[in-house]
Amino acid sequence: MSLRDEFIQGRGCPVIDSHGHLGPFRGIYLPEAAVESMIAGMDRAGVESIILSPHNALEGDTREGNREMLDAVRRYPGRIYGYCTLNPQFPNDLDEEMAACLGQPGVVGIKIHPSMHGVPVGDPRYRPVWERANRDRLMVLSHTWGESGGCGHKDLRPIAEQYPDVRLLLGHSCYGAYPGAIALAAEFPNVYLELTAAAHAYGLIEWMCRDAGSHKVLFGTDYPWFDHAVYIGFVVFAHVDEADMRNILYDNARRLLDEQVARTQS
């Protein structure tokens, strides 16, 4: 039986979501925004683990949001991993937040949102973040969108060049500017494409696998924004072979997670 048919019947392979959130956001109706609902939804879809940053860390008080992240990680070990969110609008918080979060069990990387926080990735205020991530070989999930404007592929290229040990995850794969994002992932061993919001485009996953390789593509959903079943469907109905699907759905994220977990345990 094909992997696609296995998923249709409710089985399939394990799945790791590398781009999640938690909690309400700007009053938008999200039926599964509470952490308990998220775990139930993950159980329903067969998602083993998610790596998340709470909405509160992005849009509200980053420090409070990071505490929500730490609480969720402690309550659901192995199901929920966390990104330490860093907002360079408050540069004095950066060291304190990194000290409080990075190295904690289950905290596996950093989340930045250059457009929401109004600070381009190349701004000097981000330098301590990149330097720490490069030193510790951390995953950094950056919101990316378009060609430029602070978090497009043209903005990320110098970061990928300058910090080769950062595991740089292009959240949304520079939505709408896919040729540049795919070229970046193909060129730099430390750059990964992430599927949130982008995966619906017919033929895009095939293009990513062909030009960057499926080992550079990560499953992500912005959950509780997008439904895991829909996104799993985008992957397993793509015209790629099953080894590629397994890379995207699980193996790539597992490899990155294991590296980070081993680092925190050591």
Site string for other proteins, 111-140 (x = CB under 8 A): ------------------------------
Q: Does 228 bind other proteins (CB under 8 A)?
A: yes
CB 143 within 8 A of CB 171: yes
Strand partners, 112: 142
Please give the Cα distance from 191 to 221 (Å, whole number): 18
Can you spell out the DSSP letters for 66-127? Answer: HHHHHHHHHHSTTTEEEEEE--TTSHHHHHHHHHHHTTSTTEEEEEE-HHHHT--TTSGGGH
Nearer to other proteins, 47 or 121 (CB): 47
Nearer to other proteins, 74 or 239 (CB): 239
Q: Does 202 bind other proteins (CB under 8 A)?
A: yes
Q: Does 193 bind other proteins (CB under 8 A)?
A: no
Q: Does 224 bind other proteins (CB under 8 A)?
A: yes
Please give the Cα distance from 148 to 158 (Å, whole number): 12
Q: Does 225 bind other proteins (CB under 8 A)?
A: yes
Q: How far is the CB of 172 from other proteins (least distance, A)?
A: 12
Please give the Cα distance from 115 to 107 (Å, whole number): 23
Please give the Cα distance from 68 to 63 (Å, whole number): 9
Q: Does 266 bind other proteins (CB under 8 A)?
A: no
Q: Does 245 bind other proteins (CB under 8 A)?
A: no
Kindly list the residues in this chain that would bind other proteins in the complex (CB under 8 A).
Answer: 4, 7-10, 28-32, 37, 41, 44-45, 178, 197, 199-207, 221, 223-239
